[in-house]
Amino acid sequence: MICSNCKKNAATHCIERESGDIFLCDDCFERLGAAAEYGTEPDFFVSFLGVDGKKEHCCPVCGASLSHYTSTGLVGCAHCYEEFKGELMPSIRRIHGKTRHVGKRPLGDGKLYELLEERKRLRGELEKALKEKRMKDAERINKDIREISNILYRGDFGGGEDE
């Protein structure tokens, strides 16, 4: 039996599935591993890319090709994202909904994060003011905390849609 994925080597592994058995050589079994066992068709990632998987354009830095990505779902290096940008970006947008990393401050262009940090800082000040029995300061700080909490509750801290 020949490998269902690479169609070159002799198949040594058989993965039984409802839709039919998949026969894989050692190399393809090692690369596809659990994906094949859980029912992923060979070249599963080709469906996300919308390409035929036969382009052999390679990354000049690591040598990975687009077909490597379509069969494994992994790029070779950071430069691959630039090299295969036209092919990768549509699938990344389809999978993740965005193509720009927004980091730990995704909402409100950092405003949410800033408000949460300010409220945390004010709570520390409030605790200190109460320990020192500075009631007027504690009242003012508590009022500021309530204002920030109301802004957070209403959700009107700014921000907008991503690309």
Q: Is pTM, for the whole model, over 0.85?
A: no
Distance, in Å, from the CA atom of 85 to the CA atom of 2, rounded to the nearest integer, reads: 34
* Better-predicted residue by pLDDT, 130 or 21: 130
Residues linked to residue 34 through DSSP beta bridges, in sequence order:
none
Please give the pLDDT value at position 53: 42
Query: What does the pLDDT average to over 2-29?
Result: 76
Reported for 38-47, long-range contacts at CB under 8 A and 24+ positions apart, including other chains, are: 42/4, 42/5, 42/71, 43/5, 43/70, 43/71, 44/73, 45/69, 45/70, 45/71, 45/72, 45/73, 45/91, 46/70, 46/71
Mean pLDDT of 50-78: 72
CB atoms within 10 A of CB 5: 22
